[in-house]
Structures are given as C-alpha cells and as structure tokens.
Amino acid sequence: MTRIALIAHDRKKPDLIEFAQTHESQLREYDLIATGTTGKRLREETDLEVERMESGPHGGDLMIGAEVAAGDLDGVVFLRDPLRAQPHEPDISALLRICDVRDTALATNLASAAFLIEGLAE
C-alpha cells in the first residue's frame, strides 16, 4: 500500500486538516503516518486512520526521516511556516535532504501536496 507522511508547523495545522478533509476519500486509500499533534488532530477531525509518531519536538520528524531512509515512505507532505516557524517545531532541512537522497516526493505547500497525492494515485 502507498504510504505517506503528514507533518505541519503549528500555524499550518489548520491548512493540513482542511486539505485532509477535502481529499479524505483519496487519502483513505493510503497508509498514513503523522507527527504526534498533527496525527491526533487528523484522527479527531477526519475519519482517516493515522499512525502517530512522536510529536515534532520529541523527534517525530526524525522518525519519519528514518522511514524515508529505510525506503518505507512513498511521499511526505510537510506544510511548513516559512515566515514564522517556532524553535520547537520540526526543521525541514534533514527531511528535505533524506527525501532528495532517497528520491522521495516532498510537498511543502498545498499546491504541491495536491500534486503529490494525485501523482501517487497513478
């Protein structure tokens, strides 16, 4: 089954929830993982099944990076706040690097996220 990760900085979590609600029928076809708080909100605000990793400050983004490194993820959606990311939030640098090394699709905004899930469906 296609496996994707969903991550969002605090100010982008509402956008990710809305994206998941809009694309719920398609996302239901995927095996989903998310960082802790994002995964909790996705479970509460959608009918999607989401495996939760640790929260970002506790290494959840690194856990997702390890899955990319192991070849266990087909794509990552990381909605980041490029203007006001907080020190406790995950840093995209390491995740971006491992996605590039492993040739794994990484979307950082809603437009690229839509292309990512559409592309994985084909």
- Catalytic annotation, pick one of 10, 31, 47, 61: 61
Write out the binding residues for substrate. 9, 13, 35-38, 55-56, 88
| Separation of alpha carbons 13 and 26, rounded Å | 19
Q: What is the number of other CB atoms lying within 10 angstroms of the CB of residue 34?
A: 27
Reading the block at residue 11, the tokens are 């100010």
Query: Catalytic site residue 100?
Result: no
**Dihedral pair phi/psi, residue 87, rounded to 5°:** -60, -30
The residues, ordered by sequence, that sit 6+ positions from 2 with a Cβ below 8 Å of its Cβ are 29, 30, 31, 74, 75, 120
Write out the binding residues. 9, 13, 35-38, 55-56, 88
* Closest C-alpha to 61, from 14, 24, 98: 98
Known catalytic residues are: 61
